[in-house]
Homo-oligomer: A and B are copies of this chain.
Amino acid sequence: MAFTLSPPPHLLPPKTSRAGPSLFVCHSSSSSSRMGQQPRGSKLMEFPHLLDPHRDTMVSLLSAVESRLGSHLLPSSVPPDVEYYQNESGSSQGTLCVRSGIDSSPVDFILASWLHLEQPTGGGALDITNIAGYLKSSTDVPHFQFELVQCSPTYFILFLDLIPRRDTVRHPDYLKAFYEDTQLEACRQRLAQLPEVQPYFSSSLYFRGVVSPTGILVSIKCEEGGRERVEEIIREHIGPISNEVAGIWMDMCVGEGGGPGGEVREAERAELEKRDSFIKSKAIEMDLSSSLPKQFGQEVADRVLRVIRSVYKT
């Protein structure tokens, strides 16, 4: 699988509520929020194909983002034929939601998506869910990235990280403020101690360099416990840890006192933007520009990529 950086596309904005408090997840803060109970027309909110705890993890993360950062975000401006798209036969499907930050916010945009990719070799389907939070160059707080990939009913890959905006070798104070003092390593270790969890090495050397020193990039393989054990691991571990990391990130962005600093002087912004632009363009190049056309055909892929490129400003 060409799992690389993949702040890829696609998500789930309820078309029925293009503005208001619940742009990501309708009623997600209510415990009665289940996909089947979404208003008609909110196809993008259905999270089809996913195991329950996988869906719950996405809903919970989006709900937390909504509740904490909602006032920072504009409604999604993704056109309907990119909010939801599919290949000719309908066997592969994708969604995309992008909400840009308002002018006064440090948030550049939040991107969320799910993708259901039928494998051409008949090897089942990949189900990918993704939430990325990118910030402006007025702050050097790391970007947020969550991606959970179901490769088979008993095999998952998780990428959960706060992506550094600076070279941590050259800026040990940056590492201390955002990675050491925030105890992110404890999150990584809690997951790593499960016997089913193994470090995952991306095929992209570039991507390996993008990941932070506390980045969680792991495979979860449950040959023995089967689907039940996978569900347990997602529910008991991946969900809570993802929420914790997202919470740490949102504290950095908008916490009282503005988190552990992060304001960037005007003179340094160009350098930060340059580094960010490498990350973004590499992500598109590696993850999307070849795989999307293969999965959805050139026309659909062009449409989706155009939106993503405009958001990423690459």
Contact = CB atoms under 8 A, between A and B. Distances in A.
Interface string A13-30: 000000000000000000
A257 B278 CA distance: 30
B282 A209 contact: no
A199 interface: yes
Nearest to A189: B201
Nearest to A166: B167
Interface in A157-207: 167-170, 172, 175, 179-180, 185, 192, 199, 201, 205-206
A169 B275 CA distance: 7
A308 interface: no
Nearest to A214: B205
A273 to B, nearest CB: 12
Contact of A210 (B169, B206, B208, B279): B169
A153 interface: no
B206 A282 contact: no
A274 B170 contact: yes
A206 B275 contact: no
A213 interface: yes
Contacts of A279: 169
Interface in A203-245: 205-206, 208-210, 213-214
A211 to B, nearest CB: 9
A278 B205 contact: no
A168 B209 contact: yes
Counting chain B CB atoms within 10 Å of each CB, the highest count among A167, A172, A201, A209 belongs to A209
B209 A169 contact: yes
Contacts of A168: 205-206, 209
Interface of A: 167-170, 172, 175, 179-180, 185, 192, 199, 201, 205-206, 208-210, 213-214, 274-275, 278-279, 282
